[in-house]
Structure 1
C-alpha cells in the first residue's frame, strides 16, 4: 500500500477574510491569485484533496506550518499538527495552534485551523507530510503553493494590539486616507495623505522591511519589538531601509519630500529597485510610511505632530541657543558641539499595544519615531515610549523615554556672549513654555478634505498643562533621572528687571506679501533707561536650522520713566522670496540689553507663508469602471514665474500614484489641469493632488468622490 498523496490545497482567501477582517486587501481580492491573509486569534478553513480516500487507521498525515528561513519548534516558528478524522471540534486552548476536521467529501477533507494570538506576524508556509502508519520506507512531502500572511489582530482580546472601540479600529486600522499636520502651532496645515495599506504591494513591502530590519523571526510575535524594528527600517541610515532623509532643499537626484501624495509610490519604488532606499523623505513622510506599514501588519497607528519640538542632542532636557556680542546666533554653540534645535513641527507615530515589559498602567498609545534624529542602542530608531510615562516624566522606562520627554517639555535657554563671564557667556533667558506648544492628530469621527474640523488637540495626553504644578513636577521628576540636566535647573538670577519687553506674534503671512517685526517696550523704572536692540528675520528649515539671514537691524535709544516705545522692522517680499527654503518658514529674533541694570531679554517667534490651495472640481458621484473627469486649478501667488514644475495625483481605488511634469507658470497665472480616471472600487474615495516648483512647494488639494 502506497502512502496517500496530496494533489491540491485550497485556503479559501475570500471566504476566510470575513472573520479576519481582511476583506479590503487587494491581495485577497486578486482575480488571478487570491492570497490568504489571516489574523492571529482567528480560525480559518482550508481543504486538502488527496489521490484517494483518507484512511485514519493506516494513513499518517501531518500538517506543518513554518515561519522564517529556519523554522524551529522550540522557538515557536515550526508547527506540526496531526490530521485525525475523529477530531471534529477545535480544542478549548486558544493559546496554541490546533486543527479539526470540518467535513470529508470523498478524497477531499476540509479542515479548520486555529491561529494563536501569539503567532509570529509575516509569511507562513504550509506543507503536508504523508506516510503509512508504522512504516518509514515511504513518505511524501507536499508544499502548498500559497504564501499565508498572518497579521496582528486588534479585534482579538488576547492580542497585544487589541482595541475595544470599533470607531478607533475603523480609523487606526481600516482607514486608507488620513491627514498629517504641518505648518506652525499658530497656523496648523493639514496635509492629506493616501496610506493605501490595502494596496497589493503594501503587505509584501512591509514584510520585506521587517526582513531588512534584522528582527529575529521568533521575535515577530511581539508588537513592541516589531514596532521598534519598524521605527528603524523606515529610515535608511543603518539597514538600507525605505526612505533616505534630506533637509537641505536640493532634491535634484530624487523626488522632493513635498511631491509625495501617499505611501504606495514610495513602497512601489522600493520594491522595483530591490530594496534601494527611496529619495527623499522628511519627518511627515517617514511618519506616513510608518502608518502604512503598521496598519498593513495590523498594528493600530496614527500620525502625531508636535509643534515646537525640541531636539536635545546632549541629554540635558534643555535646548541651548547661543548669541554673540552682536546678536548673531551661533549655530553650533561656542565649542561647536551643541546642535540643539527646536523643530517648528515634528511628526512621529503612536502605536497602540499592551506593555508587558512595563508596570501596569503604561500600555495604550506608545510613541515611535522613524525620523533619524539620534541613535538608540547604536541604531537610528526611537521607541516605543509609553505616552503615559512621558506625561509623568518617568524617564527610566523603555524605550527612549528621556528623548521623547524633552521633545515636548524641554526648556529653551538663551545665552549671550559676555566678556565678564568666567566661561564667556551669560544667560539671557529661560523659556519654560515654548516647547511642545501643541500636539495634534486626526480625529477619528471626522474626515474634512477642505477644512480643519478633523483636527484633534491631544496635548494633554502627552504633557500636563503649561505652568501647572503637575507640569513642573514632571520636569523635575525627569531631571532627577538625567544627571546632565540637573545643573541647568538651578540658575541664580539677581538682576533687576524694570523694563517690559514683548515681541508681537505673527500668525501667518500670505506668500508674496510683506510683514513687520514689532517689539513693545515699557520703562517701569523711575529713571531713564538706555536700551540696545537687535532684530533679525531668517529663513529656516522646519527642523529649526537657519538657512539665510533675510534682514537685520540694530539700534540704541533711551526710554524715559513710565514711557512706552514701539520699534519696528519691515520686510518686503522682494527681500525674502529668493532666500526661502522648504515650507516657507521664517524665524524672527529680538534681543535687548538695558545698559544701567544689565537686564537682558530675548524672544523668538516663527511663522509660515501661506500657500494657495488646489481647487478640485468633479461630479459628486461616478460609476465604477466608467470615465470620471476631474479638473484641478490654482493661481501662482508670486510676481515671478514658477519653474521646474510638476504635479502628482493619487486616490485609492481611483488612480495609482501618477506624476506629471509641467511647463513654466507665469506670474499670477491661473493654472488649469484636467485628468480622467476609471474607478476600480466602490465607496467613498479621496483624490489628492500636489504641485511643486523650484520657487514654491507643497501646493495641495483634495476631494471626496462617491463611486457607485
Structure 2
C-alpha cells in the first residue's frame, strides 16, 4: 500500500490547506508588526520638498556646462566627488528643531544599495561641523538654516562610485516614547556624481589647468586619419555636455555588469567603456564595419560628432547604431570619458600593427612560389598592419601597479581581440608599453605590439623542423613608442620578449642565416586610379660573394586595416 493511500485521499488537500493558513497568518503577523514599527506620531516633522541649489553647486563643481543643469522642466544636480555640495529641505509641519527632530539622509546607488559596499550612505543630521575623515561621506548643518528650512552641506569622498544616485530622507523624533516610527521622503531627482580631476585625492587628478581644459572640458577637436605621409585631421564635435551624453554614459556602465561598488575605480570604469562603446558583447553603442557596405546604416565617414550617434542609440531603444570604424569608436569614447570626468584624448598610430596571436610580431607566411598563405600555416594567424588606427589615452593613477606606471593609459573600444572573454582593451600603462613591461594589466602585449612589433616573413622550407624558415625581419616599420633604432627601443622589445613565451619561440628561429642581401621597395608618392604605374625595387648585395636571388613581386589592394581585398598582378 502506498504512503498516500494509508493517509487517506483527503490528506493532500489538508496539507495544502495548512500551508495556505500558515502563510496567511505569518504574513498578517508581519504586517501588524511593521505597522507598529512604522507608526508615525502626530509630532513627526514631514519633509515637504528638497532644494538642490543646482546652479550654485554646478559652478563650484565645474559642471555648469551640462545641459542637465539648465533643463527648464526637470533640472538635475551634477556633482564631482571629493567636494562638498549644498542641499536644503523644507518641512511641512513645523520649524526644524535639532533637539527634537531625528533626520537621516540615505544616499542610494544601484538596485541593491548596501552599507557594507558603500552604495547605501547613512548620514544622521547631528553636527554643525564636519567630524569624519576625507575617506567618508559627511554632513553638517549650515548656518543658513531657518525656521522650516534645513540647509545642509554634504561631503562626497573622492572614492565614491560614479553614476546616478538617489536621496531618501527619514524623519522622526529623538524621543522614541512619543513615537518610534519614521516618515520617509523619497526624492525622485537623479543625482549625477562624477570623477573629479580637480581633486588631489581623486585617482584621475590632473594638475595642470590647461590639461584639464583640453582633456576634460574641451567639447570639440580633431581625430587624425590618413597615412603617416599625409595625416589628415577630421573635425569632431565631442559634445560631452549635451543632455543625451550623461544618461548614455551611465547606461554603458550598466552594460559592463561590474558591481556598483567598484564604479569608483577608474580602471574598472574605463575598461567598461572600452567594451560598451562597441556592440560585440552587450549591445553597446556602435556596430563596426569595414567592407564598404553601409546601405542599412550610416557610413562611418559621414559622422562628424558623437551626439547624433548617442541620440540614435537612445531613440532606437538602445539598439547599436550602424556604423563605425576606429576613429568613430575613439571619438565616442572621448565623449563618454570626458562626460564622466576622466581626462581623455584620441590618439592616432600610423602604420599600426594588429597582432592576433600574442607573438609581439606581425607574421606573414609565404609558399615556395611566393604566394602569401592567408591565415598562416594553421589558419589562425591574421596579423595585419593598418594604415592608421585610433584609440584613446586616459589619465589616472594606478595603485594596482608598481610605482611609476600611472599617468596616461591606453584603452581601445574598436573590437579587435578579446580580453577576459570580452571585446575590451586596457587600460594599458603607456610607461609599461614604453619599457616593454607587458606583464602588467591590462592588455599591454596587444598595445605594445601595435607600436613596437617587428614584421617577420616566413617561407616554406622542407628542411625546417616546423616547415618554415624566417626569410626577413623588418625592425623599423611599425609606429614606435621609442625612437626608431634607439637602445631604449630594442631594450623595450627585449623586455617584452622575456614576458611572452610565443614571442620567445618566434625570435629564436635565427637559423644562423646572414641577411647580407638588402631589398628596398621605393615607395610611390601617389597612384592615380585607372592609370598605370611603375614599381622600383633596389637589390643590394652587401657580401663579398655572388648571391642567387629568387623574388616574387605582388600588387594587391587592401583596406586601410591591412585586410586583403584583391590581387592585381604577380611577377
TM-score (norm 1): 0.71
Tell me what 2:35 maps to: none
Match of 2:166 among 125, 134, 143: 125
In structure 1, what is the Cα distance between the partners aligned to 2:235 and 2:67?
Answer: 22
1:191 aligns with 2:234: yes
C-alpha root-mean-square deviation of aligned residues, in Å? 2.0
The one of 468, 475, 492 equivalent to 1:474 is 492
In structure 1, the residue matched to 2:361 is 318
Alpha-carbon distance in structure 1 between the residues aligned to 2:550 and 2:290: 35
Evaluate the alpha carbon distance shift between residue 494 and residue 142 of structure 1 in structure 2; reply closer, same or farther with a 3 A threshold. Answer: closer
Structure-2 change in CA distance of 1:173 and 1:507 (3 Å) = farther
| 1:161 alignment partner in structure 2 | 204
**2:150 and 2:391 mapped to 1: Cα distance?**
49
Query: CA offset at residue 531 of structure 1?
Result: 4.9
Choose between structure 1 and 2: higher helix proportion. Answer: 2
Q: Assess, with a 3 A threshold, how the Cα gap between structure 1 residues 157 and 511 changes in structure 2: closer, same or farther.
A: farther
Q: Distance in 2 between matches of 1:508 and 1:43?
A: 59
For the pair 1:32 / 2:49, whether they are aligned, the reply is no
Displacement of 1:326 after TM fit?
A: 3.3
User: Post-superposition shift, 1:499?
Assistant: 4.9
Q: Calculate the TM-score normalised by the size of structure 2.
A: 0.88
Q: Which residue is 1:94 aligned to? A: 134
Number of residue pairs matched by the alignment: 526
User: Are 1:552 and 2:565 matched, yes or no?
Assistant: no
Q: How far apart, in 1, do the equivalents of 2:140 and 2:467 lie?
A: 78
SS of 2:482's partner is: coil
Matching of residues 290-305 of structure 1 within 5 Å: 290-305=333-348
SS of equivalent to 1:380? coil
In the alignment, structure 1 residue 18 sits paired with structure 2 residue 64: no
Task: State the partner residue of 1:403.
Answer: 446
Alignment match of 1:8 (pick from 49, 53, 64): 49
* 1:97, distance to aligned residue in structure 2 (A): 1.1
Q: Look up the SS of the partner of 2:122 in the other structure.
A: strand
CA distance in 2, matches of 1:493, 1:137: 85
Asked whether the equivalents of residues 555 and 570 of structure 2 are also in contact (C-alpha less than 8 Å), the reply is no
Shift of 1:56: 1.9
Which among 213, 218, 221 is matched to residue 256 of structure 2? 213
**Closer/same/farther in 2, CA of residues 386 and 529 from structure 1, 3 Å limit:** closer
Is the CA contact 1:534–1:552 (under 8 Å) kept in the aligned structure 2? no
Separation (CA, whole Å) in 1 of partners of 2:104 and 2:124: 4
Shift of 1:373: 1.3
Which of 267, 270, 275 is matched with 2:310 structurally?
267
Match of 2:502 among 473, 484, 490: 484
CA separation of 1:93 and 1:514: change in aligned 2, threshold 3 A: farther
Deviation at 1:32, TM superposition (A): 2.3
Listed as ranges, the gaps of 5+ residues in structure 1 are: 438-462, 555-708
Structure 2 distance, partners of 1:429, 1:308, is: 18
Closer, same or farther in 2 for the Cα pair 1:331/1:148, shift >3 Å?
same
**Who is 2:421 aligned against?**
378
> What is the aligned partner in structure 1 of residue 560 from structure 2?
542
Q: Summarize the Cα distance change of 1:503–1:59 in structure 2 as closer, same or farther, 3 Å threshold.
A: same
Q: 2:150 aligns with which of 97, 109, 116?
A: 109
1:637-695 deviations in whole A, cap 9, x for unaligned?
xxxxxxxxxxxxxxxxxxxxxxxxxxxxxxxxxxxxxxxxxxxxxxxxxxxxxxxxxxx
Secondary structure, aligned partner of 2:536: strand
When residues 509 and 155 of structure 1 are mapped into structure 2, their CA distance, relative to the original with a 3 A threshold, is farther
Instruction: Give matches, 1:66-85, under 5 Å.
Output: 66-84=108-126
Instruction: Find the residue that maps to 1:479 and give its secondary structure.
Output: helix
Aligned mates of 1:5, 1:343 — CA distance in 2: 64
Matched-pair contact (CA < 8 Å) for 1:235–1:371: yes
Q: Which residue of 2 aligns with 1:345?
A: 388
- Over 3 Å counting, the alpha-carbon distance change for 1:478 and 1:145 in structure 2 is same
Q: Within 5 Å, give how 1:331-342 maps onto structure 2.
A: 331-342=374-385
Point out the more displaced range, 191-200 or 484-493: 484-493
The alpha-carbon deviation at position 221 of structure 1 amounts to 0.7
* CA drift at 1:493: 5.3
Q: 2:101 aligns with which of 51, 59, 75?
A: 59
Greater alpha carbon shift after TM alignment, 178-187 vs 488-497: 488-497
**Contact kept in structure 1, 2:470 and 2:510, CA below 8 Å:** no
**Residues 497 and 287 (structure 1 numbering): CA distance in 2 closer, same or farther, change over 3 Å?**
closer
Q: Distance in 1 between matches of 2:140 and 2:399?
A: 32
Paired with 1:312 and 1:6, the residues of 2 have a C-alpha distance of 60
Give per-residue Cα distances to partners, 1:547-589, cap 9 Å, x unaligned: 112x3242xxxxxxxxxxxxxxxxxxxxxxxxxxxxxxxxxxx
- Any conservation in 2 of the 1:300–1:352 contact (CA below 8 Å)? yes
Q: Alpha-carbon deviation of 1:145? A: 2.6
Gaps of 5+ in 2: 1-41
- Relative to structure 1, the CA distance from residue 488 to residue 529 in structure 2 (aligned partners, 3 Å threshold; closer, same or farther) is closer
Q: Deviations over 1:134-183 (max 9, x none)?
A: 33454211111311100000000000000000010001000111211111
Asked whether the 8 Å contact 1:14–1:34 carries over to 2, the reply is: no
Alpha-carbon deviation of 1:296? 0.4
Which residue does the alignment assign to 1:642?
none
Question: For the residues of structure 1 that align with 2:122 and 2:547, how far apart are their CA atoms?
Answer: 86
Q: Which structure has the larger Rg?
A: 2
> 1:99–1:507: structure 2 CA closer, same or farther, 3 Å change rule?
farther
For 1:656, the equivalent position in structure 2 comes to none
Question: Relative to total residues, which structure has the larger strand share, 1 or 2?
Answer: 1
2:89 counterpart (40, 48, 58): 48
1:466, CA displacement in angstroms?
Answer: 1.9
The question of 1:143 aligning with 2:143 is answered no
Partner SS for 1:376 = coil
Deviation for aligned residue 1:90: 3.0
Q: Distance in 2 between matches of 1:184 and 1:509?
A: 14
Q: Which residue of 1 aligns with 2:23?
A: none
More deviation in 517-526 or 32-41? 517-526
CA contact (8 A) 1:160 1:353 kept: yes
In 2, distance between residues paired with 1:48 and 1:525? 88
Instruction: Indicate the larger mover: 211-220 or 369-378.
Output: 369-378
CA drift at 1:233: 1.1
Q: CA deviation at 1:238?
A: 1.3
Task: Name the CA shift for 1:189/1:326 in 2 (closer, same or farther; >3 Å).
Answer: farther
CA contact (8 A) 1:187 1:508 kept: no
1:500 is displaced (CA, Å) by 4.4
